[in-house]
């Protein structure tokens, strides 16, 4: 096994244990509002620290980029661990059992390892660049013949960037002419993994952060899927605007959404 993958799995499971135990003891959860509709809990912070401790033990010089603590610079800035200790905090706070730990390892600007762990279902999604993607021990491959007609698409609303809501609803209105339905689950990391596992047929969202999607991005691509920004390019980790699906579905989604884009998305 890739040694960094092994450490990432260990870190994800340790954080998952923290989350699962806290989920069962809901009275101990302390919630703070970071911004409108954006929560952080003491469990996010405890899970993040668990991940950092595992990484630092094996790779003390690596840089760690986290949702809650920002960039923790190491002597080796070429290797970055991009982590979201609890993707789906709102679900967690509400008691909805759908959230995950997301860990990506980027080497010189390229994602080499991706791990997403669902501690409630004990489902571990992993990928190593060039070696494919797995759900636990099952190899994942997207349905390359899938088309937009009759597809189930996952998405998330841009509640942190409300100005994009009209565009998002316009995109959904255009897509529903062909697709069968939408799913809005509350964890972008799991949405991407579900694309890789054919549980949904595609995913699109506006305004994600790198820790939301870096691991899931690699898992989709190693399962044979395509991941692009809204212009069909590769800037989604910086722009936050992402489409992920089998190639045919990505093409059809882009054909529907691109005529709706304003100048902000065409840069």
The enclosing domain of 106 has a CATH number of 3.30.540.10
On whether both 252 and 127 belong to a single domain, the answer is: no
User: Strand (E) positions, the chain?
Assistant: 31-35, 38-41, 62-66, 70-72, 76-87, 100-107, 110-118, 123-128, 132-135, 138-140, 152-156, 181-183, 202-205, 226-228, 242-245
* Domain match, 70 and 162 both: no
Residues 234-262 pLDDT 10s: 999 989 899 999 999 999 999 999 999 98
**Quick one: 13 and 121 in the same domain?**
yes
Same domain, 199 and 251: yes
Band (38; pLDDT cuts 50, 70, 90)? low
DSSP letter at 36? T
CA–CA distance, 123 with 104 (Å, rounded to integer) = 17
Of 95, 113, 140, the residue that ends a domain is: 140
Of 94 and 29, which is predicted with more confidence?
A: 94
Q: Is residue 145 part of a domain?
A: no
Residue 147 lies in a domain: no
Query: pLDDT (tens digit, 9 = 90+) per residue, 142-191?
Result: 999 999 999 999 999 998 888 899 999 999 999 999 999 999 999 999 99
Q: Which two tokens stand for residue 217?
A: 């991005």
Q: Within this chain, do residues 124 and 182 fall inside the same structural domain, yes or no?
A: no
- What per-residue confidence (pLDDT) applies to 86? 94
Dist CA 216 CA 209 (whole Å): 12
| Residue 128, pLDDT score | 97
Residue 83: band (very low, low, confident or very high) from pLDDT cuts 50, 70, 90: very high
Do 126 and 235 share a structural domain? no
User: Which two three-digit tokens encode residue 190?
Assistant: 């799991």
95 assigned to some structural domain: yes
* pLDDT at res. 210: 93
Flag whether pLDDT at 51 surpasses 90. Answer: yes
Residue 225 has a pLDDT of: 97
Q: Examine the pLDDT at 1 and tell me if it is beyond 70.
A: no
Nearest of 115, 128, 129 to residue 83 by alpha carbon: 115
pLDDT category of residue 14 using cuts at 50, 70 and 90: very high
Tokens 């565009």: give the residue: 167
Phi, psi of 120 (to 5 degrees): -75, -45
Are residues 60 and 131 located together in one domain of the fold? yes
Is there a single domain that holds both residue 99 and residue 187? no
* 68 SS3 class: coil
Residue 165 and residue 62 share a domain: no
State the residue range of the domain holding 132.
3-140
Q: Please report whether residue 146 resides in a domain.
A: no
Last residue of a domain, one of 140, 168, 185: 140
Assess whether 175 and 199 both reside in one domain: yes
* pLDDT tens string 100-132: 999 999 999 999 999 999 999 999 999 999 999
Same structural domain, 122 and 237: no
């Amino acid at each position: 096994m890739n040694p960094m993958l092994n450490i990432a799995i260990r870190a994800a499971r340790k954080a998952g244990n923290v989350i699962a135990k806290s989920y069962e003891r809901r009275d101990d959860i302390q919630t703070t509002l970071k911004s409108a509709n954006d929560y952080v809990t003491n469990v996010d912070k405890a899970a993040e620290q668990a991940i950092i401790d595992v990484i630092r033990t094996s790779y003390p010089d690596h840089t760690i980029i986290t949702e809650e603590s920002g960039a923790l610079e190491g002597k080796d800035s070429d290797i970055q661990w991009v982590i979201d200790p609890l993707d789906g905090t709102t679900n967690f706070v509400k008691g909805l059992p759908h959230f995950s730990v997301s860990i990506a390892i980027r080497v010189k600007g390229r994602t080499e390892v991706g791990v997403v762990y669902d501690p409630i279902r004990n489902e571990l999604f992993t990928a190593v660049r060039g070696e494919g993607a797995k759900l636990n021990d099952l190899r994942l491959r997207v349905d390359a013949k899938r088309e937009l007609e009759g597809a189930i698409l996952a998405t998330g609303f841009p509640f942190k960037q409300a100005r994009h809501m009209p565009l998002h609803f316009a995109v959904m209105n255009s897509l529903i002419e062909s697709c069968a339905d939408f799913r809005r689950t509350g964890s972008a990391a799991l949405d991407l993994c579900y694309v890789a596992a054919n549980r949904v047929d595609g995913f699109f969202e506006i305004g994600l952060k790198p820790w939301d999607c870096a691991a899931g991005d690699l898992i989709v691509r190693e399962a044979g899927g395509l991941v692009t920004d809204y212009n069909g390019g590769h800037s989604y980790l910086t722009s936050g605007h992402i489409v992920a699906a089998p190639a045919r579905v990505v093409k059809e989604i882009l054909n529907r959404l691109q005529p709706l884009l304003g100048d902000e998305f065409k840069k």
